[in-house]
Amino acid sequence: MVKEYKHLTSEEIDFFMENGYLVVKQAFSKEKAAEFTQDMWVRLGLDPEDKSTWDRERIHMPSHKREPVATFAPRVWEIMKELLGGEERIDPASAAWGDSFIVNLGLPTLSAADPPRRPQELDNWHVDGDFFVHFLDSPEQALLVIPLFSDIAPAGGATYIAPDGIDMIARYLAAHPEGVVPARLSFVPSTFATLSDKPLDAAFVEAAKTAPGYFSHLREVQKCTRFVELTGETGDVVLLHPLMLHSASKNHLRVPRVITNPPVALRAPFCFARADPDEYSLVERKTLRALGVETFAFEPTGERRSVVPARVGIQAKMLEEERARVEQAKAREREREEARKAVEADAGGQRAIAVA
Convert the pLDDT of each residue in 203-225 to its tens digit. Answer: 777 888 888 899 999 999 999 99
Neighbours of 212 (CB within 10 A): 8
Query: What pLDDT sits at residue 355?
Result: 62
Output the pLDDT for position 193.
Answer: 66
In a domain, 172, yes or no: no
> For the sheet containing 245-247, what is the strand order?
228-229, 160-162, 245-247
Is residue 83 in some structural domain?
A: yes
Residues 277 and 341 in one domain: no
Cα(335)–Cα(219) distance, integer angstroms? 55
The answer to whether the beta carbons of residues 174 and 305 sit under 8 Å apart is no
Beta strands, E only, 176-270: 180-182, 186-189, 215-216, 228-229, 237-240, 245-247, 257-259
pLDDT of residue 356: 63
Our CA dihedral for 104, 317, 264, 231, rounded to 10 degrees, sits at 0
| Domain identity same for 243 and 344 | no
The pLDDT value recorded for residue 200 is: 66
Q: What is the CATH number of the domain that holds 253?
A: 2.60.120
Same domain, 334 and 220: no
- Shared domain check, 69 and 24: yes
Q: How many domains does the chain have?
A: 2
Is 18 in the same domain as 75?
yes
Question: Is residue 77 domain-shared with residue 154, that is, in the same domain?
Answer: yes
Q: Are residues 160 and 48 in the same domain?
A: yes
Q: Is 277 part of any domain?
A: yes
The stretches in the chain having pLDDT less than 50 are 1-2
Distance CA 101, CA 330 (A): 21
Expressed as residue numbers, the domain containing 92 is 10-129+137-164+215-296
Same-domain check for residues 25 and 108: yes
Domain shared by 225 and 354, yes or no: no
Q: Are 271 and 315 part of one and the same domain?
A: no
In the DSSP assignment, the letter for residue 146 is E
The confidence score (pLDDT) of residue 130 equals: 93
